[in-house]
Amino acid sequence: MTTEKTIRKVLDDLRPHLQMDGGDVEFISFDSASGKLEVRLMGACQGCPMSQITLQEGIGRTIKAKVPAVKEVLAV
């Protein structure tokens, strides 16, 4: 499985947790040279004051643990 497919699978696994609170996440891009993953937070996640914590502690931590090629997760 390619790195991008693995990332998408992890995001799919996380998606129901975000959707329970009215949010969602969308894969935008992954740069394998830098390890930078860009995602878009959607729905209730867009304006939520906790979105940066969700991004770094929830999404980022999980993806980095399951996909070692990911070094940084950014919301765009």
Q: Which domain holds residue 16?
A: 3-75
CA–CA dist 50, 8 (Å, integer): 23
Give 63-76 pLDDT, tens digit per residue: 999 999 999 999 99
Checking if the pLDDT of 52 tops 90, the result is no
Please tell me the distance from the alpha carbon of residue 29 to that of residue 39, in angstroms, as a whole number.
7
The CATH number given to whatever domain includes residue 70 is: 3.30.300.130
Summarised one tens digit per residue, pLDDT across range 2-40 is 999 999 999 999 999 899 989 999 999 999 999 999 999
Is the whole model's pTM more than 0.75, yes or no? yes
Q: Indicate the number of domains in the chain.
A: 1
Question: Is 63:38 a contact under the CB 8 Å cutoff?
Answer: no
Tell me which residue has tokens 């394998």.
32
